Amino acid sequence: MKIFLDCSDVDLITHAYGTGLIDGVTTNPSLMLKAGEDPKHVLKEISAIFPWTASVSAEVVGDTAEEMLAMAEDYLEIGPNITIKLPTTREGLKACKALSDDDVSVNMTLVFSAGQAILCAKAGASYVSPFVGRLNDQYWDGITLIEEIADLYATHCVKTQVLAASIREVRQVPACFRVGADVCTLPYDIFQKLYDHTLTDSGLAKFDADWKALKEKL
């Protein structure tokens, strides 16, 4: 059970990693746009935060497998903890097979069906990323898809890990893990909200008050 941060802000990633609870990072072009810097430079900074055994997803773009592979080659120069993130398309799967045959870690993104997840596993992907929130936006059940893929992989002893993405609410995190997700990648604010519960706050306040009262009696 792993938690990744879906983020390109190096300061936030550094802070979150300092908790000892973050196992990796996912990025995408939209997050890189927010960072406003050269993506390779940002990825180098993120990569340096994590051990070589971690996973830092670097998403490539291109219309053809050849274009994606060329970009992947550039990103792989950063370090061994770089995972190449590819779109789940015909060309993306072609690139995935080529990279996985060379023992490169690949995260297949924009997965919206169990059928796509089957092809990703066949292509040797290390991770598949079903988008829970985007499916829910279309009135489909993203958690059900996570469960379907996890069941398929377990039945056939597939090594590809299910990485739940597009997490919009705290309650989706335990729901994804409950049905078999190996990883949840979370926006920074969702990660922070995992800590919080009103009953924890009120219980702690009561214990603190009682402790203070006890000290006054002694």
Among residues 2, 44, 85, 94, which one is catalytic? Answer: 85
List, in order, residues 6 or more apart from 151 with CB less than 8 Å away.
Answer: 180
How high does pLDDT run on average in the chain?
A: 96
Query: What is the arithmetic mean of pLDDT over 188-205?
Result: 97
DSSP 97-163: HHHHHTT--EEEEEE-SHHHHHHHHHTT-SEEEEBHHHHHHTT--HHHHHHHHHHHHHHTT---EEE
pLDDT at 33 over 90: no
Q: What is the pLDDT of residues 36-88, one digit of tens each?
A: 889 999 999 999 999 999 999 999 999 999 999 999 999 999 999 999 999 99
List, in order, residues 6 or more apart from 99 with CB less than 8 Å away.
Answer: 69, 72, 84, 86, 106, 124
Query: What is the arithmetic mean of pLDDT over 173-187?
Result: 98
Model confidence pTM above 0.85: yes
> Span 2-217: which CATH code?
3.20.20.70
pLDDT value of residue 42: 95
State whether the Cα torsion 43-48-49-52 is positive or negative.
positive
Give the residue carrying structure tokens 């900074």.
Answer: 45
DSSP state of 80: T
pLDDT at 218 over 90: no
State whether the Cα torsion 170-173-178-179 is positive or negative.
positive
Query: What is the arithmetic mean of pLDDT over 21-33?
Result: 92
pLDDT value of residue 145: 97
The angle formed by the CA atoms of residues 149, 155 and 161, to the nearest 5 degrees, is: 45
pLDDT at 147 over 90: yes
Q: What is the pLDDT of residues 96-141, one digit of tens each?
A: 999 999 999 999 999 999 999 999 999 999 999 999 999 988 888 9
Token reading at 10:
């190096």
Query: What is the arithmetic mean of pLDDT over 6-30?
Result: 95
pLDDT at 34 over 90: no
pLDDT value of residue 138: 87
Number of C-beta neighbours around residue 5 at 10 A: 26
With a pLDDT cut of 90, the percent of the chain lying above it is: 92
Give the residue carrying structure tokens 């890990």.
Answer: 161
**Is 85 among the catalytic positions?**
yes
